[in-house]
Amino acid sequence: MPASPPPAELAAAYEQALHELAALRREQATLARKLISDRDLRPWQVELLKLQRHLEAENLRMIVLFEGRDAAGKGGAIRRVTRYMNEKHYRVVALGRPTEEQRSQWYFQRYVAQFPTGGEIVLFDRSWYNRAMVERVFGFCSRKEYRDFLCGVTGFEKDLVRQGTILVKLYFSVTKETQARRFERRLTDPLRRWKLSEIDLQAQSRWDDFTDRKYEMLLRTDTRAAPWLIVRSNDKQQARLNTIKVILNAVDYKERNPDLDLAPDPRIVVPGRDEIATMQAEFRSNGRFTG
């Protein structure tokens, strides 16, 4: 008969089993909350299908920009927006680094190549505003390229809207603490580790640089023709629901459900001009931007 393991080994194995059981219970609870939250989105996702049918019937074009810091929840929001959409009439565009040939072209050219045709909606997971944020912070563009972008983008968007494209610009905003927690989860969860890039690892140390660029971007590019909407995304579920509401309110589509609350929560969705005012007040009070 084999000898029994020493008491110390049994205690260690027992502690390990308890640890794994607790982790499993946390994972199950998280999954249950996620399933409930996703189920609660369905009435508004039904409305997105109506919006799609309206765009197709009226031959309208729609673009939605998803901008914001890393780990702000852009990807999760896009997945909830598109989950039940007709795949024939929407595209998600997430462009990588430009090739040398593309770098020699007009800056907007590779984005214009992805624009929607009549009846289609295109969702940009980061857009031409890369130049105003990531490229500027990390030195991937020159000062002149950055200045030229800020000078030209408002006219570009005004012309886009004037010619009939419905343009929605969303900036997802999280606190530094929330971003740090999400990065830690990506670092420790094998299923999420692929999301963590080299730039992500520098995002916390460059927080203030990104905040400065955010302020300048909003100040220079929040226009009447193409305003920014800030989505407070510390609470992912509320951010996703209110993102859908914003998109639905951008189009006067047919068969809108009169019994459904389509008004975005003003605590979650903030006009760009109000965010600018808040940041200016923070600067006057603290001598720097904080969000």
Report whether 62 contacts 81 (CB < 8 A).
no
Q: What's the pTM? A: 0.86
At residue 173, the pLDDT reads 97
Residues of the chain with pLDDT under 70: 1-5, 10, 19-37
- pLDDT value, residue 1: 55
